Chain A
Amino acid sequence: GAGVSQTPSNKVTEKGKYVELRCDPISGHTALYWYRQSLGQGPEFLIYFQGTGAADDSGLPNDRFFAVRPEGSVSTLKIQRTERGDSAMYLCASSSPLAGGEQFFGPGTRLTVL
């Protein structure tokens, strides 16, 4: 079956611009996670959705970062007034308790802020 997909695969933007990153989880997975990964480091948690609501957003670095999941499926990570330090790979994962709770990751979106 289809795995987690993320679009775009690459995004280049200029400092100060607004970007949206999209995640399509595995169908039926109720939990959705966003992580950010800098070069040479492990992924860092940003936010976790259970259904439509953000169950834990403690990883969001500041109020320029926001994520939504209005219908409990697709999620969008939104970054306002991008900074060069926001450049990273943004990973999305989904899971279901019916599938053992294992998190399945997408291929990521590589964001570059010039």
Chain B
Amino acid sequence: LAKTTQPISMDSYEGQEVNITCSHNNIATNDYITWYQQFPSQGPRFIIQGYKTKVTNEVASLFIPADRKSSTLSLPRVSLSDTAVYYCLGANAGNMLTFGGGTRLMVKP
């Protein structure tokens, strides 16, 4: 299974753009790079998913280089409510998810 490596924690301030980079050197060819967000005492919530290049939705952007060995989640103009743990993982529809330790993002006023 692909192992992912991401920063344990990050701090930011309201209104800033936050970029969280994840390394996944051994991601499977048929896996999508997927990011989940988790608030305390809640289950993880899907944020965004991509295979190559760039994907953007109403919440975030995901940048994936051609070699797919890393990816960067970009959160524009974060607010206090974006304080959460963010998980990067390789995922294939129908298969179980393998979570790492995630990145704890703290947004300060």
| Cross-chain contact B94 with A105 (CB below 8 angstroms) | no
* Residue total for A at the interface (Cβ-Cβ under 8 A): 30
Instruction: Count A-B contacts at CB 8 Å.
Output: 57
Instruction: State how many angstroms separate the Cβ of B37 from the closest Cβ of chain A.
Output: 11
Write out the residue numbers on chain B whose beta carbons fall within 8 Å of the beta carbon of A106.
43
The stretch of A13-21, A40-48, A73-81 that contacts the partner chain: A40-48
Q: Does B57 contact A (CB under 8 A)?
A: no
Q: Closest residue of chain A to B42, judged by CB?
A: A107
A106–B42 Cα gap in the complex (Å)?
8
Instruction: State how many angstroms separate the Cβ of B34 from the closest Cβ of chain A.
Output: 8
When A31-B94, A42-B87, A97-B94 are in contact, do A107 and B99 touch as well, CB less than 8 Å? no
| Cross-chain contact B46 with A104 (CB below 8 angstroms) | yes
